[in-house]
Structure 1
Amino acid sequence: MVILFVGSLGLNIYATVLVLLRARVYGTRLYRPMLWNIFLSIVPVLILAVVMAVSVALIVVAPPLTGAALVVGGVAWLLMLPNASYLITELNQSHRKADDPVPLWYDIILVISLAMSGVINTVVNVFLAHMIFALQLFGDQAGAFMRWPSLVAVGGVLVAIAFGMYLGRYIRVNSWDIRHPGALLRRIGEHFLTRTTRGAAIGFTATYAIFLALIYIVVAGPIVENFLTLEIQR
């Protein structure tokens, strides 16, 4: 499990370095939106870490408040979570210009690094949520990770992430727009007035949710399998 966190940290650092070197080496304008998106991609796991720390502290000093802290922190985490996987959309190379002095090969590895850092950040977040949910619901019971409520929760989170990505890319909605819920709901409602946009949203959400689910199985699956093996041995 430690390797997953180390790898995620390494990818974020590597992507950041590539963005900074792009401007430094090739004398181009620093593309700050990429740096901002990397930061936003890291924020959800930081929120989750704070939520876990606060919950542990409340269990000791004020147990009745633990549930409320988990709910509030969980909502904040879920609102910010699509920012992690949103880095996948950097693959459109929209930052390049026709006369860009940066070699195409450099920008290819740059955007792939950005996208993969977002994907792995998403996996880390979903895995931590998977673990918290399973432990909260089933404690140390055998097979807690693989019980259907845990798997349904993971699937629901992945669908929510994919839909959040759609809202961010096509309606230009940000997580903090929730501060003005009325205006936010109007924008979303107006966007989905036509059948075409509804169909596009369903297709986008399903496609990206399946992709993230498959990556989650490949990356986090061996960790979950290891937990199951330890439970059987115990």
Structure 2
Amino acid sequence: MSMGPLMLFTIGLNAYALLLIYLRSWIYRVPVYRPMVKNFWLSVLPLALFLVVVTVLVLTVGLVSQTLGIVIGAAGFVIWLLALPNSGYLITELNQNHRREDENVPLWYDIIAVLTFAMSGVVNTVLGVLAAQLVFTLTVFGDSNAALRAAPVRATPIVIILLVSVGIYLGRYLRLNSWDVRSPRRMWAKIREHFDSRAAVGNFALFCATHTLFLLLIYGLIAGPLLEAVADSPDLVTAE
């Protein structure tokens, strides 16, 4: 079973999202909205990190030692997981806060541009979670495709996407970034200050529930048929 079309269309969607950002400036003679460009590259970063971690893991296990490979793999997974909310974070760009009253950009253009931008982040998230699920299956259960129906494997995307939703909330409303884990005291102080009321906790819970369900539905829509086909196939999934 091939993942080639999924990867190809993901690259195309990302390229189109970035193109629309710059076309907005070229067509309507307005400045490029730099925060959106920055967020775009942060959205792509987790996929790049995942490829690097998997490559290093395979080389380490094959050429050095399995124990070192496990350590590197675990550390790489944590770094990747901390970066992954940057992909889903693009959903929050749908608030259109980049529009300015003195710009003559029509609303229809910003709607399609920001919608494409947000969906590129959603698809990046889906592809990242799918890749993690497949690697988890291979690592724990070997090359048995039927293992994709095992309960721990099916639970993997739910857990990761829930954590992604938490990360999106912390990024949007507390302005925390992945690298803020380097200052745990400062980060914890911001979290305690933010969640000082039941209203804040309730808003957080509702945000995470709605975003988790949305991302899971999109994940099932995109990854579900692929995973079912792989589970029924005697051959491992390929990128060809």
TM range (shorter): over 0.9
Secondary structure at the counterpart of residue 99 of structure 1: coil
Query: Are 1:99 and 2:99 an aligned pair?
Result: no
Query: Are 1:51 and 2:53 an aligned pair?
Result: yes
Match of 1:230 among 217, 223, 233: 233
Match of 1:180 among 180, 183, 188: 183
Q: Is the 8 A contact 2:146 2:232 kept in 1?
A: no
Matching residue of 1:146: 149
- Superimposed CA distance per residue, residues 59-114 of structure 1 (whole angstroms, 9 cap, x where no aligned partner): 11222201101110000000000000111111110011223211111101100010
Query: Are 1:114 and 2:96 an aligned pair?
Result: no
Q: Percent identity?
A: 43
Query: Are 1:156 and 2:176 an aligned pair?
Result: no
Query: Are 1:6 and 2:30 an aligned pair?
Result: no
Q: Is the 8 A contact 2:57 2:69 kept in 1?
A: yes
- Superimposed CA distance per residue, residues 154-206 of structure 1 (whole angstroms, 9 cap, x where no aligned partner): 11100000010000111111111111111011111211121111111110001
| Distance (Å, rounded) in 1 between the aligned partners of 2:231 and 2:110 | 41
Matching residue of 2:238: none
| Distance (Å, rounded) in 2 between the aligned partners of 1:225 and 1:231 | 12
Structure 1 stretches of 4+ moved >4 Å? none
Q: How many residues align?
A: 232
Matching residue of 1:29: 31
- Superimposed CA distance per residue, residues 88-146 of structure 1 (whole angstroms, 9 cap, x where no aligned partner): 11111001122321111110110001011001000100000000111111112242112
Of the structure 1 ranges 99-108 and 117-126, higher mean CA displacement relative to structure 2 is found in 99-108
Unaligned runs of 5+ in 2: 236-240
Match of 1:124 among 121, 124, 127: 127
Q: CA deviation at 1:25?
A: 1.2
Secondary structure at the counterpart of residue 231 of structure 1: coil
| Distance (Å, rounded) in 2 between the aligned partners of 1:71 and 1:64 | 11
Secondary structure at the counterpart of residue 234 of structure 2: helix
| Distance (Å, rounded) in 1 between the aligned partners of 2:25 and 2:101 | 17
- Superimposed CA distance per residue, residues 20-69 of structure 1 (whole angstroms, 9 cap, x where no aligned partner): 11111111111011111110000001111011000110111222201101
Matching residue of 2:40: 38
CA RMSD of aligned residues (A): 1.1
Q: CA deviation at 1:151?
A: 1.6
Letter matched to residue 102 of structure 1:
V
Secondary structure at the counterpart of residue 224 of structure 1: helix
Q: Is the 8 A contact 2:145 2:233 kept in 1?
A: no
Of the structure 1 ranges 137-146 and 204-213, higher mean CA displacement relative to structure 2 is found in 137-146
Question: TM-score, structure 2 length as denominator?
Answer: 0.94
Secondary structure at the counterpart of residue 151 of structure 1: helix
| Distance (Å, rounded) in 1 between the aligned partners of 2:22 and 2:94 | 18
Letter matched to residue 215 of structure 2:
L
Letter matched to residue 168 of structure 1:
G
